[in-house]
Amino acid sequence: DGGITQSPKYLFRKEGQNVTLSCEQNLNHDAMYWYRQDPGQGLRLIYYSQIVNDFQKGDIAEGYSVSREKKESFPLTVTSAQKNPTAFYLCASSRYSGGYNEQFFGPGTRLTVL
């Protein structure tokens, strides 16, 4: 089955810890994205990547880091510098970047800071 997978489904972090969220896709999509969703808020873009070994900051990149070493994978690290990391994290991909390309989402990771 083609699709986007994210792991883990739930993640608990102690304050001061860095954690890494996994996102993998087998759709052969060039572009991948990370969003954050808070209750009552729209999705906000953290980072995106249009091609392997390249990525750009979104609206709320502070306290996060990413890598894109393989086309299929776009992991997100939530660092201790992120002041309020508790949120629902969503990874998405699209065939190409740009406005006429539909984005499809993975199942999400729910991160809670203890």
Partner 1 sequence: QKEVEQNSGPLSVPEGAIASLNCTYSDRGSQSFFWYRQYSGKSPELIMSIYSNGDKEDGRFTAQLNKASQYVSLLIRDSQPSDSATYLCAVFRGRDHGMNYGGSQGNLIFGKGTKLSVKP
Task: Write out the residues near partner 1 by the rule CB under 8 A.
Answer: 33, 35, 40-45, 48, 56-61, 90, 97-100, 102-108
Tell me which residue of 109, 103, 107 sits closest to 27, measured CA to CA.
Answer: 103
CB of 17 to partner 1, least distance (A): 25
The residue among 50 and 80 lying less far from partner 1, judged by its C-beta, is 50
CB of 16 to partner 1, least distance (A): 26
Burial code (b: 16+ CB inside 10 Å, e: under 16) for 31-64 equals: bbbbbbeeeeeeeebbbbbbeeeebeebeebeeb
3-class SS of residue 83? coil
The residue among 52 and 61 lying less far from partner 1, judged by its C-beta, is 61
Amino acid found at 33: Y
CB of 42 to partner 1, least distance (A): 4
The residue among 14 and 81 lying less far from partner 1, judged by its C-beta, is 81
The residue among 83 and 100 lying less far from partner 1, judged by its C-beta, is 100
Rounded to whole angstroms, how far apart are CA atoms 32 and 55? 9
CB of 5 to partner 1, least distance (A): 11
